[in-house]
Every structure is written in structure tokens, then in C-alpha cells.
Structure 1
């Protein structure tokens, strides 16, 4: 059977064709279900989110990860495995076996341009591994995060070619976008929006839900087709912000981080050396001046800062526990020994997007209003961190510590803190070694070639009639089977937002162009390059001044690789990339009016932007005789937003300012039964961003209530909450109703949004726009 052309061509019967099926000469070959080659293993890829190299206990960190340790004891640790320093790029590279710019993902989807390396469009000649495996007879499924869909295709009308079910996965349950509320996620099954079956009060958390779904799927798959291997991609979205976890997990770490991030980082190195995940002579890199020292933090803040880390540690431990339940389920099915597991502990380094002091509601920070959360406010909320009432993120110092012993963090692709992620490989039937560590250099693009070699499958030359480009990674199988194997991945470029580096046979040349939480973007030609030798495990000693010729040769090699893989032209623009017309990407919503219909659930980029301008919202409704009740239209959720609803048979408007202030306007009279046109007008005060305005409620053109909103959210309501017509999914925007049972009890014909040209959008700075996009991935 020829497997390099996919789909595999149908067999053609050539032989005697009889007239009567009862004729003894009537014969046809039996139909045989498509299966991979004999011995092909099941494959499970687990990809965590925003976890630094040193966070997990398996790699010397403070967060207990017993599942990772158990798999490592019966498998292998990879201590020089690398990612791209950012979410969408790592995921697209992982799933295709190609470098991130080579598959159009030089940044996150929200800042795509028309340049090939940055378009967010996966080229048709670089098919994802799920499609290759499906067309070779695997069952395929994905659970969790998908942040590879172009933003103009994230809507109920698609197209769905880059959604999981259009990318080779037969089953998908998870979310589309950069992050999810762990208590109120915006979920899809396939391409259909769905709601969680439980509430936070009933114990709901997203990672547990994903594990339940994955366990159900794999049990069914193995019960019905035990001879058919499965490929499962489990990407829970944890431990990306918001850092949400039930208190029984975070309370296990009470008091364990009171000494601060500098002491934690130093203590981690001793554990890492004892585990052998760094060599004995590895040096702790210096903390850069941009990262505050623990001793310099205000004493009043330190209990809050310590609590932030307790929450995060509990979050990571809970995530590992849920992965353990999935692994146990596979083991109970008798399938674990023949399952090739990649447990990749982070799609990049730990996130430094939480500001130097962290935050209770990261939407304040993303809207440029971090000052609202004073030390006193944060201290008053200390017991609410990690709960459904919070949308929290930890401080930069914790991120830097958890990337130890390396320099920098997520987004900084130039240094190992941004790109080196601890990884565990487990496959007892295919790898004899147990409990060993592998030191060879590898990259996330090497996973696909390894899977194909394990399954005895060729890299396809044609998929769905499209000639395929070569894979760009190399198989890791020689590394996995022999600790002394020669290094096969000898050159690798890195680039993210101008932060760039090159690895070649142990040497690295790197330059940091920008710091994630600081506006420090010099001209590209002024970037200072550093040089590190093969024996400098942590990039602690810069040899650029001592070996300028070697540095120059590596810089030239970086440029060669950059040209080869569509990295150039380098793009460190901010404002221009957020303007679709300048960036050259399609824009889903245009004009000044938009009509929505009952049952629609749309993410924020699918709805006209009403911020910083006057606007009107109207709805044609039919109210029941027994009194109107429920949500007519809402946008956002508990972390901020607005809604128009009927409460106790009166039309009502609520503006939720970051969950801190609630402004209400209530109609003077009940909603009459029957069909009526209801709505509100918001007259923006003007004079800048985030100002207030006067609100007037209307029914059939007549004013029925007035009020004021003193201040508004200037740039974003939420990272994942929706605009809903006829209900409010996710967390409730108004305290007047709960997360369930809030649907309008009458009929909604349509809802219309109309925005005025009174627009202050131009006042938003490029850095503000950039920060929002980065924190949403």
C-alpha cells in the first residue's frame, strides 16, 4: 500500500465480472478498514501553556507534578527541548513539523499581516500531522486550546479549514483563542458553541472538564476499535492567565513563597542539579535590571505577591492531576505501554505579561488602567485570587524565577528562558531506557517526524491533491533510544517580535530587541548581539567582545535561515499591524451598523466596537403577558462589559466597569406585553478614552429612563467572553442574574448596534494595542 499520497487511492478491482452473484466464479476482495502499519503506537501529545522550564517538580521546580514525574521515571526527560517563545507559533510548528514562520505564524493570529511568514494562514503544502495520521487510519481528537485560526475566520460562519475539525481532528472539544476563563469558558464542540454542564458552585473547572471529555472519547474509541490506534492532542490552556484554581489546590502552598522570587530561583538551581536536568557547573544567570528584586517590593504587597504564586502553583498541580487521570484511563484500557506520550511542559516560557506587581483583574492592565488596582485594593482581594470573582495574573518576578536558571521569559525568543521547556517522552514498547535524561538539542518541529517514524509512516508527498513541502524538523528517535546518539538537530533560528537568535552546533548568538512589559523598541539595526559557547549551559557569559568573527558568522547564518523560512522582513510594528487595511488581512465586521439575531454568540472581534464613542442598541422583542424577564443582549462578563435586560418586568441597562463599579439605568415603567422596540442610547462625554456618558432607555421611541455611567473600559471587555443575544453565557455581566437560566422569556426578532462617528479610538496608543494582543494568547 502506497502511503506517501494521501488520501490513499482506492483499490481498483480488475478481474472477471459475472452476471449472477451466485455464479461460483464471482469473487471480490473483502473490504478491509484502513489501518496504519502493524505496530504503529497510539500517540498522546500533552501541551501545557505558559510554564517556565523550572516550574514543575519534574524539572526541579516548586509546583508538584507527580504525573510528569511518574512518566519520566518510566520514560525520558528532555532538558534541551525548545519552543518558539509564544503560543500560536509553537502550536502551529508542533502540529506541522515546520518552523513557525514557514507556516505563516510569525506572531499570534490577532496581529497577522499579508507577509507569508506572518499571515496566520497555514500553507496548503504543509499539512498538519493530524490529517496525515487520519488519512493513514488513526482516530484523531483534540481537547483544549486552539489558537491557530485566523481572526477573520473565528465566527459562526467560518470558514473552518483551520479549525481543528478542518485540520485532521475528527473530534474537537475546547476553545478558540488565546486564553479561557477556567470557570466560565467559551467552549465549542466541533464548530458548535456549547455550555459547560456544571457551574463553579457545583465544582466546575475547565481542565477537569477537558480531562473528562478526553477520557470518555478514548474509552469509546478503544471499546469500539481497539485495533485502531488513536492520536490525541490534549492542550488544556492551563496555566495561562487567568490563574484560576479551587482553594484546596492553592492552599497546599500556603507560606511556601513568602521568601520571594529571588530566593525561589536560587533554591531551584540546587534541585535542578540534583535531578540532573542541568549540569553541575550550570550557573544561575543574573536578574536583569528590568525585573524588580523581591527586597525592593513594598512590604504591604508581599502577602499578595506570595498569594499569586500559591495560586499558580496550585493551578499547575491541578493540571498535572487531571492529566494523570487521562493517563490512568489509558492505562486501564491496557493501551499505555504502546502509547507514545509527549508531555511538553509549556508552549513557551512563563508569562511576564502580568506587570511587575501582578493584578487581580488583568483586563484593567490590558486597558492601560493598572493604577486602579492599588496595593490596598489588591490586599483587600487577597482571599478572592484564583476564584470565579477574579481574573488574576502573577507578577513578572515569579515568571522570571520559574524560567530559571535561564535569562528572560515568554516572548523573548532570543534566550532560553523564553524557549526552553522541560519535556517528557514515554513509550515503554518503543523505548527501552527508563528514568534517563537526554541532553541533545531538539525543537518542537521535531515531534512530527518522530511520530511518523514511530508509526512507520512516510512523510506524505501529496495530501488532498497538494504537493507537500518537506518537513523541517528531524526525528528524535535516535536520541530517545541512545543517550550517546549524535545530535541531529544542529541549526535552529529563533525570532519573536524582533527578539532573535541562532543555534549552531552548541553555539548561540542572540539579541533581545524588546522586553514584554516595557516599551523599549529600538531600531533593529541598533540591537546588540551576544555570543555564548557550547559549555555555557545557561547563556551566562557573553563572549561577543572576545570572538567577534564567530559572532559575525552566526549572525550571517541567522539571516540565511531567516530568508529560507520567511522570517524577513522583520516586523516589530505595533499600531500598523492592528489596522487590518495596513496589515493586509481581512476584517470580518465593517460599517457603522450591525444586526444580530437570537441565539448568536460572538467573540469581541466579531462585533462592532462601541467603546469610546456614542452608540445605540435597539431590539425588536415580544414580551410575554406574565412579565418580561431575562437578557436581551450582553457583551463581556464578570470582568467587565454591558448588558440590556428585563429585570422584574422593567427594561434595565448595566455597565460593568471591571467588576469594580456597576452603573444601572432602570425604566420608569414595566415592559408592556406584546411586540415593542426597546433599546438605549449612550451619549459619550468625549474628551479622551474611557470617559463616561449619559444613558437613555427607550420603548417604541419614547424615553423611559435616564442615568449615567461615569467611566468606561477603553479597549477590551474580555479576552474570551462573548456578545450574546437572548442570554448571557459565561460569567454574568450584571449581578441581577446568575450564569444560568438568564435567557429572555419572550421572543427577540433582532438586535441592532449603531455606532456614531464620534470616535476616540485613534487615541489608543500602539503599545496599548500590542499589550492587549499579547496577553490574549
Structure 2
């Protein structure tokens, strides 16, 4: 074997031409140059597939004793290793950035999700260029790289069609190919998709059988086949991160129906059943204890009998969603097998980027945006029962109840967001690599963490951590290679110190011990009274004899507790965790949080064809008066279609033309719709159509009066009874001249929403109406120039 001749610690690898004879005539027999050799990693570097499921707790997958059937995960585990002490950060974007960089989430600025970024270095959502992602390192060493699925690591002010794209997977992230979505979640039936940095529409409709996870698997399969057909000697790194099983829980009905009746006895009984199965499988120790239910989580027997059919169906849909996801993952793995390279592919199958999600309220949700807007009370038991047949279908944006999240985290306490306890951070993980792991069906119990994956991959590929990437000196990775565990089941753990923190929930692991304190409850999103950090009550657990954090030893060993609390402060200081930030509304407000905003001032000018504008790319019209004015060119025979729309079926507003008349609809969470229609058609020619909304005031989410104008003349009036106070959607956008995604109103379809006529411009203005119902061209020009 030829030794590797590349100096790989500096990336890109510098070109260093060898000195030698330069002839005058190429025909001279002394003319000699070595052939051009495409860059490749060191000989023996394996292919890499990292699979990351979303919002799945330790006790969800059948591979770790859960009720959701995951035969492909089980098959991989039978041929590889299960890790039962693998950890995440308790939240999606932080876990993903940590996994992709090999550094702690605060070290890479992702102390929380991008939407709550602050000016503090640990919470900025900006990855320092001293911490290059794994994909970039592998690409610059000769790997083919591709990501399919979710990317929630783009700072919100960089998520518009104008970028900048430094944090996008296929620009600064090191992935040569990206097909998926930017953000925390997406509608599985009608997603907002990107191919690279270009917005694309789904290739089919739900009625035609479209589903996002299937689409992602299709693209991954096609890419893998093409890569091995054209570059068989070049290894690949594929990151397959579907939005599943994050809410909304969307799945074809036949998958959910497989589980009919399986959850009739509720979440308390399900935890007992999962716990027994986990011991039977040996994925938890025989002496592990099942942690009790906390008072904040209702008992199944205390839930209203009338609601229980809805609760059952919520879990049936989720279980079907997970099995469906595992099936699509199986298609990707089967493709690698069919290509003859499965034995030489190291596969990580991580069942969850955090614990199961308890963000669906105590009753679950037909539209989870209700809870995000503090309006969960609108979804009464009667309403939920009326929607039971629709759960999981394109007409829903559903989530399951807190009790099911708790059950999916068996045997641990708490859920996603709670970084203090293993229910938030311990995720079942499988590693499969026949050429690198001799044992089949083994169990590993060394403490491991998502920051360990990047150094493991580099070690497996025989690649050094780079000291320089793109001219920037790199800081060392903070994870520990797991390679030592592959063939040594009893090897002493090397990753023996790890801090945890999320929203003030915090903890520390040190050589088997853990000290933890829960600061806030995930499903109390609006208005909870939080204690001072120094008043939080700490707990102490001895993991040598207590796998599940079931026996609190704080009163028995205060010295050990104090030691770990001090260590937490030291680690928090080292990795930019401080200051701890548990603020809510303040972090949601860019000006207070200190993060940039794309839009400034109280007015915004938009043009026809602009679309896929996230809520952070548009002035916020929530909880205030606002006006929308559009200059239209109406053809003979009348106009029709969308002028401007924000949001979609599950909440938003639209100004459009129906039957030649201007119409405004405000849709509250897909539950209430408030229309206002003009009393006459818009005449042919150039005209201004204006909608004014006069907010009632007196608090958040109030209603207001609507007036429509043609060229300054009132032509219609109406009333909006309530508005959405916080967010319209996690995935729907603002579009001018058409509507992408789902439609705000059933008055039109997205496929037929394009405006017939011309739109010269659309302007959104905030604040009180000044009674000037007609914006003259000079004023429009002044605003345009003022924002250059």
C-alpha cells in the first residue's frame, strides 16, 4: 500500500508542484509529468451514512423496546452495536450543529434554536469559522457529500432567498448536494423545499401520493446510485435527516391503522410494557428502575373518557409515522447493500435528536400552532373529537399529548427540552460497520454524546482533525472518538465529563455521576413564572448503580453534589454557556435579543414573484394595526388570484381577487376564518387595492376591523374576531402574486392561485392609519430609496 502523500492537516490541501525539468517541446522524450490524480481520502476510508430521526425518545423504537415498529433499525442492530448511553442536547438545532461539528452546542453558537438567538456568543446561532463542519473536512479530503432532509442551523436573518448562504448545507456546510428544508419542521404533505439554495415545489401532491420522507428517500437513493456509478472508488458521506418524526405527525392512514387499539390502555400502561420489553431485550440493565410520573403529567385514568379516543389516535398516528420513517430509511440502506458497499459503510442510526416532544399540550393538538400562540384553549375536547378522523392527514397539523411523549422516553424522567434529565437527552443509537466492527448484535454502555460522531468518522477514515480550513486556524474538536468501543465492550469510557443546558434546564455528567436541575416545563410556553437560577433544586444520581436516574441522592451526598455543581460552572464558562438565558418573549424579539433582522422600520415594499419569504423576512403585522396596498394592472374581463398571502391552511392571511372582487381573509389556526369582500369588481386598468386592519388593542391576539379600498374609496368592511399573537407557521411563507405550500383559504388552490393580471408592487405598512388611503408614487419612491 502506498503511503498517503497528502498533508491533510491544512484544508484545502495545498497544491505543491514538484520541481523538475521543463522541456521546450512537448515531443521531447525528456518531457514527463505525473498523471493528474483526483483527490481521494486515505486508502480504506469507509463510506459514511448518518441517519438522524427527529423528536423520538429512547422508549419509542422497537429496537430499544418501544411500541413503534422499526424493523430496519432492528436489522442494523442485529448486525452491529446498540448504544444505550448515547446523548443529545435536548433540542434539535443544537444537537445537529454539535453532531456536524464535533463541538458542544454553545461552542458553535447554538445554545437554543435559531429563532431565539441572542447576541451572546453561546446563543448567537452563528457557527464560528474556527469550527468547520465534518462535511467540509470530508469534502476537502476527497469524499462525495450529500444531505437530505432537515437543516435548522441557518440563522433566521440568513434564511431568505438572498442568503447569505454561509450556513446553508450546500454553500458553507460542506455538502455538495442538499435536498430538503430550512427550519425546525415542515408539512410532510406539502413542504417548503430547497434544492441547494433554490426553492423548488414538491414533485407531486398529497392526492397523487406525495409524502416528504418518501421524497427524501427517493433523492437519497438516486444520489447514491449515481455516485457509485460515476465514482465507484470515491467514498461518500450522506447525512439523512428527515423531518420525521417531528410534529406535524403526518403519515398515510394505512400506516397509522396498523396500530388501532394498541394504545387503548394509555401512557401509564405503555411505560410499564415498554420497560418490561427493554429488560427482555437487554437494552437497559436488569436492575434499572422505572422512574415515576411527575405531578405535572396527568395520569391516563384522570383524562376525560370522551377525549380518550382522540388520545389513542394521536399515538396510533405517531407510531405509524415512525414505522413509515424506518421503512424509508430501509430503502436507503437497501440501496447501499444493492450497490455492494454495505460492509464498507459505517452507519449511525440515531433514534432522536432529543427526547420525545412534549410541546403538544396535555391533550395533544389538531394544529400545534395553537399552543405556540398561547391559544390551545380553542382546541376543546369537542373540537378535537370532531377532528379525530383527520389526524395525520393533509388537513391536520397534529401533535400528541404530553403523556405520550413521557411514555416514549421510558424509563427516564421528562422529555425534549429538559437537558437536565435523560428523558431529554438519552437517545438509542445503532452503529453498523461490518468491516470495522467484528461483533454482531452487541451492546455498548460507555457514555457517549453526539459531539463524538465527527471525531469517530475522522478516525475511521484515517483523517486528522484539520488545523487549518479555508485559511482559518481551527479549534480542536470537543468530542471523543467512539472507535475504541467498537471491539472492546468493556473498555473504560473516555468521554467522562459532559455538561448539559437548555432554557435553564441543566446538568453535568462526571464519571458515572450526574447532577441535574430542571428549571422549566416544556409545555408551559406562555407566561410561566420561573424561579431564580439559584433557587433551582438540584438532584444527584449515581449512574454506576442507577441507570435511569431514579434514586435522588442529593440529601445523602451533598459533597458530591457540590463538586458536580462546581464542575458545571467550570464547563459552562469554558463552553460559552453563560449567561444562562431563560427569557421567552425577550428572546423572540430581535431588537431585545440583539440579533440582526432582515427588515427594518414600519413599512416593506414587495414585488410580484417574490416568494418563500419566512416570517423573519417580512415585517410583523401581529398585535397591531396594519395596511396592505397593491398597485394592480387589471385586464379586461377582470383579475383573479392571490395578491399577497402569508401563512397557509393552519393560520395566516391573504389579500386576493375572487370573481373580480378584492377579498381579505384572516385564518386563525385553521379553526376560525374571517372574510371581508369588496362590494364590486376591480375595474380594468391600473388601480390601487388597499386593505386596512384597525387593531382593537388591549392585549395580544385581539381582533379588529377591516376596510377595503379601491383607489382610496371604501368598497367593503368586515370584522376579524381574533388574531395569532406569536407565529403563523413554522414552515409556510409569504408569497406575492401566488401562494406556495397550503392555501390560507379554500377559495383557491395553490396550483391555481397565480394572479391573473399584473402586480406592480405591494406595500405593507404598520401602525395607526393616517387616513391617507392612497399611497402616491413619490411616497413609494421615498420609502424605497430610504431602505437602500
Give the TM interval when normalised to the shorter protein.
over 0.9
| Counterpart-to-counterpart distance in 2, 1:580 and 1:734 | 30
What's the offset of the Cα at 1:252? 0.6
SS of 1:740's partner is helix
What's the offset of the Cα at 1:293? 0.5
- Specify the alignment match of 1:613 in structure 2: 624
Deviations 1:617-641 (A, max 9, x none): 1112222334312111101100011
| Counterpart-to-counterpart distance in 1, 2:697 and 2:505 | 38
- Specify the alignment match of 2:760 in structure 1: 749
- Specify the alignment match of 1:554 in structure 2: 564
> Does structure 2 conserve the Cα–Cα contact (< 8 Å) formed by 1:627 and 1:673?
yes
Comparing 358-367 with 42-51, which one deviates more in the overlay? 358-367
- Specify the alignment match of 1:598 in structure 2: 608
Structure 2 residue aligned with 1:527, among 529, 536, 539?
536
Structure 1 residue aligned with 2:581, among 571, 578, 599?
571
> Does structure 2 conserve the Cα–Cα contact (< 8 Å) formed by 1:207 and 1:236?
yes
What's the offset of the Cα at 1:520? 4.8
SS of 2:656's partner is strand
- Specify the alignment match of 1:496 in structure 2: 502
Structure 2 residue aligned with 1:112, among 109, 117, 126?
117
- Specify the alignment match of 2:128 in structure 1: 123
- Specify the alignment match of 2:720 in structure 1: 709
SS of 1:300's partner is helix
SS of 1:207's partner is helix
> Structure 1 residue runs of 4+, over 3 Å off?
none
Deviations 1:50-98 (A, max 9, x none): 1000000000000000110111111111111000001111001000001
Distance 1:240 1:383, change over 3 A: same
- Specify the alignment match of 1:14 in structure 2: 19
Structure 2 residue aligned with 1:314, among 312, 320, 332?
320
What's the offset of the Cα at 1:420? 0.3
Comparing 436-445 with 578-587, which one deviates more in the overlay? 578-587
**1:260-299 residue pairs with structure 2 within 5 A?**
260-299=266-305
Structure 1 residue aligned with 2:371, among 352, 365, 371?
365
> Does structure 1 conserve the Cα–Cα contact (< 8 Å) formed by 2:738 and 2:750?
no
> Does structure 2 conserve the Cα–Cα contact (< 8 Å) formed by 1:613 and 1:758?
no
| Counterpart-to-counterpart distance in 2, 1:692 and 1:550 | 55
- Specify the alignment match of 1:764 in structure 2: none
What's the offset of the Cα at 1:751? 1.0
| Counterpart-to-counterpart distance in 1, 2:634 and 2:145 | 46
> Does structure 2 conserve the Cα–Cα contact (< 8 Å) formed by 1:125 and 1:469?
yes
User: TM-score scaled by structure 1?
Assistant: 0.96
Deviations 1:632-652 (A, max 9, x none): 110110001111112222222
What's the offset of the Cα at 1:500? 1.1
**1:43-122 residue pairs with structure 2 within 5 A?**
43-122=48-127
- Specify the alignment match of 2:638 in structure 1: 627
SS of 1:481's partner is coil
- Specify the alignment match of 2:260 in structure 1: 254
- Specify the alignment match of 1:767 in structure 2: none
Q: Which runs of 5+ in 2 are unaligned?
A: 1-5, 771-788
What's the offset of the Cα at 1:758? 8.0
Deviations 1:141-163 (A, max 9, x none): 11111111111111111111111
Q: Tell me, yes or no, if structure 1 residue 347 matches structure 2 residue 353.
A: yes
Distance 1:95 1:361, change over 3 A: same
- Specify the alignment match of 2:776 in structure 1: none
SS of 1:711's partner is coil
Deviations 1:195-226 (A, max 9, x none): 10111111111111111111111111111111
- Specify the alignment match of 1:722 in structure 2: 733
Structure 2 residue aligned with 1:2, among 7, 11, 23?
7
> Does structure 2 conserve the Cα–Cα contact (< 8 Å) formed by 1:13 and 1:28?
no
- Specify the alignment match of 1:147 in structure 2: 152
| Counterpart-to-counterpart distance in 1, 2:330 and 2:538 | 42
SS of 1:641's partner is strand
Comparing 535-544 with 749-758, which one deviates more in the overlay? 749-758
> Does structure 2 conserve the Cα–Cα contact (< 8 Å) formed by 1:85 and 1:348?
yes
What's the offset of the Cα at 1:679? 2.4
SS of 1:258's partner is coil
RMSD: 1.4
| Counterpart-to-counterpart distance in 2, 1:520 and 1:64 | 39
Structure 1 residue aligned with 2:670, among 635, 659, 662?
659
SS of 1:245's partner is coil
- Specify the alignment match of 1:420 in structure 2: 426
Deviations 1:537-556 (A, max 9, x none): 01111111111111111111
| Counterpart-to-counterpart distance in 1, 2:251 and 2:466 | 42
| Counterpart-to-counterpart distance in 2, 1:174 and 1:353 | 23
> Does structure 1 conserve the Cα–Cα contact (< 8 Å) formed by 2:355 and 2:409?
yes
| Counterpart-to-counterpart distance in 2, 1:577 and 1:485 | 43
User: TM-score scaled by structure 2?
Assistant: 0.95
| Counterpart-to-counterpart distance in 1, 2:649 and 2:401 | 22
> Does structure 1 conserve the Cα–Cα contact (< 8 Å) formed by 2:59 and 2:409?
yes
What's the offset of the Cα at 1:193? 1.1
SS of 2:653's partner is strand
- Specify the alignment match of 1:455 in structure 2: 461
Deviations 1:652-682 (A, max 9, x none): 2222122222222222222333332222112
Deviations 1:106-135 (A, max 9, x none): 111111111111111111111000000000
| Counterpart-to-counterpart distance in 1, 2:701 and 2:94 | 33
Q: Tell me, yes or no, if structure 1 residue 38 matches structure 2 residue 47.
A: no
> Does structure 2 conserve the Cα–Cα contact (< 8 Å) formed by 1:102 and 1:566?
yes
Q: Which runs of 5+ in 1 are unaligned?
A: 760-777
| Counterpart-to-counterpart distance in 1, 2:529 and 2:149 | 34
| Counterpart-to-counterpart distance in 2, 1:331 and 1:406 | 35
| Counterpart-to-counterpart distance in 2, 1:553 and 1:520 | 29
SS of 1:620's partner is strand
